[in-house]
Copies of this chain bind each other. A is one copy, B any other.
């Protein structure tokens, strides 16, 4: 159902484009502080632009109603700040060195600074959400904050578990990634005063979109060239995080083959072991399998949009599903 096209985010974001600079401004407003160290760290972190998916989804949610965009700006900013706080703490958890091609806070400063600045962003995000005075948005956000954290703890617990099931993998990515994307577009829909049916449909769109997004992210970890975009191939696996392509592969291998892979990962994946692994993923169609799952989620997301009449926002949300499958980074 999802067809291949060549897309970029700028084109997809066109219906909400005018509001994105306002969100960026608001992010700096919310995070402004006389504390010099915090200010310096914040400036560094936001210098490298991410995809801004969470603010975009929030704005798309509200864009189905006519003229309530302004109300969503602070929520969009808060959700991006919250997401940034989780990235900063994730980089400590993963001992990551690079984020968006810049040194991580734990490396450029130290993990201590990253813990506290992450906490600061977290607190500021919640205060900003609270400033909307919208109880449904606040409640949805607070519930999701707990779910995201729970998903991350579950992922940490399952590190190096070579018997990880697909079911647990899907639970982890739903919690750590998809739930927040669902809440972003849901919050926009609530602020736009859409009907309950529409709010639920958009929330589901966000959730399924998030599943597809994370599965593709996990596939990309095994694709492309080492050092492209400052990339390390197989970084998740090297950190002990098992994702769908490998879970699929392991399910298809016989015991001696499995034992071979476990021991290689345990002893540190070198260049040649990684090449062997990539060949096996290819041979057993493990990446195609994962992409098929991602496409299924994208199809389910697209189905949720059918209750909306044709509009530039609906078209963009459909295009976003193509983008998420086709992207190379």
Given contacts A37-B157, A143-B127, contact A93 B116 (CB under 8 A): yes
Stoichiometry (number of copies) = 2
> A36 near B: Cβ within 8 Å?
yes
> A35 near B: Cβ within 8 Å?
yes
> A120 near B: Cβ within 8 Å?
yes
Of the candidates B35, B89, B111, B127, the one whose C-beta lies within 8 Å of that of A119 is: B89
Q: Mark A136-155, 1 if CB is under 8 A from B, else 0.
A: 00110011011001101110
Contact B123 A149 (CB under 8 A): yes
Nearest CB of B to A187, in Å = 15
Contact A89 B116 (CB under 8 A): yes
> A97 near B: Cβ within 8 Å?
no
Contact A142 B130 (CB under 8 A): yes
A126: chain B residues at CB < 8 Å are: 126, 142, 145
The residue of chain B having its C-beta at the shortest distance from the C-beta of A150 within the complex is B35
Given contacts A142-B130, A156-B37, contact A149 B112 (CB under 8 A): no
Q: Mark A91-126, 1 if CB is under 8 A from B, else 0.
A: 011000000000000000001110111111011101
| Tally of contact residues, A, Cβ under 8 A | 37
Instruction: Give the distance in Å from the alpha carbon of A150 to the alpha carbon of B124 in the complex.
Output: 11
> A38 near B: Cβ within 8 Å?
yes
Given contacts A38-B150, A127-B142, A156-B112, contact A122 B120 (CB under 8 A): no
Contact A38 B153 (CB under 8 A): yes
The residue of chain B having its C-beta at the shortest distance from the C-beta of A34 within the complex is B150
Nearest CB of B to A34, in Å = 9
A142: chain B residues at CB < 8 Å are: 123, 126-127, 130
Instruction: Give the distance in Å from the alpha carbon of A146 to the alpha carbon of B37 in the complex.
Output: 15
> A134 near B: Cβ within 8 Å?
no
A117: chain B residues at CB < 8 Å are: 153
Which A25-57 residues have a C-beta within 8 angstroms of B? 33, 35-38
Instruction: Give the distance in Å from the alpha carbon of A92 to the alpha carbon of B119 in the complex.
Output: 13
A138: chain B residues at CB < 8 Å are: 130
Can you give 11 contacting A-B residue pairs, CB < 8 Å? A35-B150, A35-B154, A36-B157, A37-B156, A38-B150, A111-B111, A115-B118, A116-B149, A116-B156, A120-B150, A130-B142
Beyond contacts A92-B115, A116-B152, A130-B142: 8 other A-B pairs, Cβ-Cβ < 8 A, are A35-B153, A35-B154, A37-B153, A115-B115, A120-B153, A123-B142, A124-B146, A127-B145
Binding site for B on A (CB under 8 A): 33, 35-38, 86, 89, 92-93, 111-113, 115-120, 122-124, 126-127, 130, 138-139, 142-143, 145-146, 149-150, 152-154, 156-157
